[in-house]
Structure 1
Amino acid sequence: MKFVKRSVAVLLTVAAANGAYAQSVSKADAALVAGDLNEAKTQIEGAIDKEIAKLQKKGKPVTIKGKTLLVKGNVYSAIALSDSSIFADMQEAAIDSALSAYNTIKSQEKETSAVYKDAWVTYAAGENSTYIQGKNSKVQDLYQGFMNKGGTAYNEEDFNSAMEDFLTASNIISTDTTAIFNAMICAQQLDEPDTEKIRELSKTMIERGATNIDAHRLLIHYTMSEAQEFETQLSELDVQKRQTTQEQLRPLEETLADYKDKAEANKAYMKKSKAAKDRYNKFSKLATETEAKIAPVKEEIAGIEAKEATAKEEANKIYAETLGYVENALEVHPTDANLQQTKIVLYMKMDKIDEAIAENKKSLEADPSNPELYFNIGLLYSNKMDVAKKAENAEEAAELEQKTIESYNKVLELNPNHYGALVNIGDFYYQKANGFNREVENLVDYTGKVKNSKDKAKVDALKADLIDNATKAKDYFTQAQSNQPAGDSNNFELLINRADRMIKNNQ
């Protein structure tokens, strides 16, 4: 009898314990429905403590029941989404607690169980006969809750808060890309766009397998924009170098050549004429003084070029990184014209001439009436021509010269007012005229008379070429001046006057 009584007492105790446990979970659920989140939290934590204590007392592994975990996840999801100041400091911890509960369900419950389906399975409308209107999983509800909060903040133009909410949503579902994209839009909408955040989020989207081309484009755009600082430096340095060369170095070099020619012309008569000797000494002294003036100008230009090299090196690092992103994007979107054009631009910026020419020609096959592609090719051939000239490869330089002119002429055929083509082809002819002018100056004395009668035919031919090229340069510079954009620093008046002077001096 005593044995029976003792057994009944034990059974009653167990029943009471189970009742207390069930009551705590039920109370937590009821408090959650009623919106009393503090009470819901107290009840669910109490239920979990009792369940753990019971399992430990029996020496069993601690495995919280699925229903308990589901209610815990739901309670902490509600706390995470609450706007109450009471829970303001708990959001991150609440999300962790909710996801921990849902993830434990995922790892220990069968996929066919009701608890698992409630936590993790989302049905679209009509997909399941039990849920005709469809249903979200609890994880999806938590995700959607932060998406909604982010949307509300965005509509109120609180872009920082919206970005935080979208990022929180993206962390709830680790494969999500929509919330990340929304966060990127918020980062763009800030008074000062957070470019580093945009780049970081673009990378995350791509790493998560996003095929949306916008993620690639944003990453490419904002990575390349990092080079803007160095591009601005290079542009300013280029203007400074050209102005120093055109306004200081070239006039001094022309003056020096003139003084040397005049000194040389009088040198032969020094022994016979005191006046010739005086003129020789005078022009030699002036030449020496001019050389002294040239030296610091050349030093200034060398300093500019050193700064250019440093800025170019830093810019190239960014271009190389950007090129990698472009190539990754082209693997997903191989026919995208904008990506192909960006690749060409990057090759050009990095001075990868042959690669850029090949990409331009490939693009021309798809877009044969695009003047910008012909302009790119003309610019690239011109760069190659300069390299060939420095290497004293006359045959290759002549071939590239012809290709350069053909490319720029094609640009002007498609767009007669193309400013870049007008400037570049004008400069091309100006430099050729200048070269012929130097050759002529070496063959004539300061009065313009041919030093050696045997060179007269050569001088006449050089002058004809000089006048032809200077005239073309003058015409193109005049057209360019008519199309010069506001803020452009090219001094066409100076260039036109110099071309005109070369023509008049050699007619």
Structure 2
Amino acid sequence: MKFTKIITVLALSAAVSSTAFAQEKGSATKAEAYLSKGELTEAQSEIENAVGYEKYKLESKGKPVVVKEKTLETQGDVYSTIARTAETPAEEIPVDIEKAMSAYNEIKKRKEDGGKETSSYKAIWDNQGADLATGAIKPSKVDDLWGHFFNIGAEAFNDQEYTKAMDNFKLALLVKNDTTTGKYGFYASALAEEEAAEEDAAAVRETTMMFINKLFEMNYHDPQQYYSLLRYAAEDAAPAEERLDDLKYEMRDAEGTIEKSTKTKEQSQERYDYYTKGGGRKYGSARQKAAQAKTEVDEANAELTAAQATLDAATKEVAELEGKTDAVYEECLQIAIKGAENNPGNPTLTSQMVSYYVKLDKLDEAIASVQSAIDKDPTDEGMNFNLAVLYDQASEKARSNGDEAKADELFNKATDQYKKVIEINPESKNGLFNLGALYYNRAAAYNKEMQDLPMKGMNYADPAKAKELEAKMLEYAKMSAPYAEKVSELAPDESKYLVLLSRIYYMTKENDKLEAVNQKLESME
């Protein structure tokens, strides 16, 4: 994640008055005097005694405990100053800010309840007008406290000290909830997370999540917030996805072993039956050959048992892991949906939403979602391409389920949609390649169907059917060629486009073209 915007440092004046007041024991006035001289320990002790004494007097008389606003203001000033003092330990600063804001917020609450703007309220919460000497706006005490930490964070951000920036934006947010602080705090923490040592990354991520949630509370929905949430959630599925990939290879190997061992067992069993029933006796080695066949049967059975056990265990583990990944995908889908709703037209969030619909095998919902986006902007190349891919995938799914009519309907929708993408952008490499591949794959399917026809000697048992399938294969291969040729012209050094073209020419028996493409592929190795 790269954020290059430079934050302007705010010029805020000091809010603590330097005017000395007459000292009075246990009073806010005396605390202010200590504060003005920088005697913070004495000021803190004095203001706590003053607040405590006022509460004691009121409680002892059975009256409601209402500390004077001036005392509360001074209490806030003392802790505000302590929070900004360099000598204050970092872990104590949040506590000092909270104590300052508790006092300031009590005065704000009284104004909201009673409607009266006292001098203390105005000093704490209202800007104080322009400074006559400099013309600069004198901030309120709250803005001054907020600005202190925001400015440090801004300077650190500009100096690429992202952890320091994050920490100070976090402190600024304790003073005042505002989107500027939350936004740059989020940016800083996200960048700090990228640089953090492994043992520190989790704590930094918690801070990033805090900023994201604070921004949501303020109804601020930057796409970057959703990108981070999607990345965090997707990481939970990564180990399971890696294991699923490994299991696919294990299952494929086990299935291959089962197929091979089954054939071996059948052939060896036939030989065993032959020799044990009298076959081959005239050669004098029937008993030996029967024993060899029996050994082969036993070995094949052992391989079958082991392979089946591997396959069964892998199948069970796949089901469990897919349950876990589906739960993560559903979480990601909901994040993407919310992000897309709050950022209409954002192509990344819409694409992520479609991606998770597909992973959850919710193709109908994905198609409806993309179609809705296209309805708002029919010329959106990306959304039109997404819809074509979805029709393409839905066609393959229907065909694998044996619904040929549905598959053909969706195949036609996919071709029409890819053509629409090319109409919007005649040089769309993705559109050209996918349409060429779609036609080629259909040709390859007809070729396989032809190859699987029963044979009669060296010829097909049904030559008319074979001829029909061959014609279909050539028809679709020739339909794919113009799109593969066009995308290869647009990107002559992209090998995957040339590979597609090579396969098409092999199928159509255009040998001169095939040789030229293969020579180019060889030169690229």
TM above 0.5:
yes
- Cα distance in 2 between the residues matched to 1:358 and 1:99: 50
Partner of 1:189 in structure 2? 191
Partner of 1:38 in structure 2? 41
Matches of residues 318-467 of structure 1 in structure 2 within 5 Å? 318-365=328-375, 372-408=382-418, 414-416=427-429, 422-438=436-452, 440=453, 443-445=454-456, 447-451=457-461, 455-466=462-473
- Cα distance in 1 between the residues matched to 2:26 and 2:324: 67
TM-score, normalization by structure 1: 0.68
Q: Deviations over 1:245-294 (max 9, x none)?
A: 99x69x979xx8xx99xx9xxxxxxxxxxxxxxxxxxxxx9xx99x9899
| Matching residue within 164, 168, 177 for 2:179 | 177
Corresponding letter in the other structure for 2:185: A
- Cα distance in 2 between the residues matched to 1:294 and 1:477: 44
Partner of 1:316 in structure 2? 326
Contact 1:206 1:216 in 2 (8 A): no
Contact 1:159 1:187 in 2 (8 A): yes
- Cα distance in 2 between the residues matched to 1:91 and 1:498: 74
Q: Secondary structure at the match of 1:187?
A: helix
Distance 1:311 1:469, change over 3 A: farther
TM superposition shift of 1:79: 0.7
Is structure 2 residue 119 aligned with structure 1 residue 114?
A: yes
Partner of 2:106 in structure 1? 104
Partner of 2:94 in structure 1? 92
| Matching residue within 141, 144, 155 for 1:141 | 144
Distance 1:464 1:47, change over 3 A: closer
Corresponding letter in the other structure for 1:160: T
Corresponding letter in the other structure for 1:204: K
Corresponding letter in the other structure for 1:117: K
- Cα distance in 2 between the residues matched to 1:421 and 1:307: 37
Distance 1:89 1:252, change over 3 A: closer
Q: Which moved more, 1:397-406 or 1:139-148?
A: 397-406
Q: Which of the pair has more CA radius of gyration?
A: 1
Contact 1:111 1:117 in 2 (8 A): no
TM superposition shift of 1:433: 1.5
Q: Deviations over 1:76-116 (max 9, x none)?
A: 1111121115x555323322321222223234466321112
TM-score, normalization by structure 2: 0.66
Contact 2:460 2:466 in 1 (8 A): yes
Corresponding letter in the other structure for 1:461: E
Corresponding letter in the other structure for 2:441: D
TM superposition shift of 1:466: 4.8
- Cα distance in 2 between the residues matched to 1:477 and 1:235: 31
Matches of residues 132-171 of structure 1 in structure 2 within 5 Å? 133-171=136-174
Partner of 2:79 in structure 1? 76
Q: Deviations over 1:36-69 (max 9, x none)?
A: 2122223323333443454455554433211111
Corresponding letter in the other structure for 2:146: Y
Q: Secondary structure at the match of 2:459?
A: coil
Contact 2:340 2:349 in 1 (8 A): yes
- Cα distance in 2 between the residues matched to 1:331 and 1:450: 58
> May I ask how many residue pairs the two structures share in their alignment?
438
- Cα distance in 2 between the residues matched to 1:215 and 1:111: 40
- Cα distance in 1 between the residues matched to 2:440 and 2:508: 13
TM superposition shift of 1:185: 1.3
Corresponding letter in the other structure for 1:357: I
Q: Secondary structure at the match of 1:351?
A: coil
Which blocks of at least 5 consecutive residues in structure 1 are unaligned?
Answer: 1-18, 264-284
Structure 1 vs Structure 2 CA RMSD: 5.0
- Cα distance in 2 between the residues matched to 1:152 and 1:416: 44
Contact 2:23 2:29 in 1 (8 A): no
Contact 1:181 1:201 in 2 (8 A): yes
TM superposition shift of 1:167: 1.6
Distance 1:373 1:312, change over 3 A: farther
- Cα distance in 2 between the residues matched to 1:296 and 1:22: 89
Partner of 1:269 in structure 2? none
- Cα distance in 2 between the residues matched to 1:414 and 1:27: 78
Matches of residues 122-137 of structure 1 in structure 2 within 5 Å? 122=127, 133-137=136-140
Partner of 1:4 in structure 2? none
Q: Which moved more, 1:133-142 or 1:418-427?
A: 418-427
Distance 1:371 1:59, change over 3 A: closer
Partner of 1:14 in structure 2? none
TM superposition shift of 1:75: 0.5
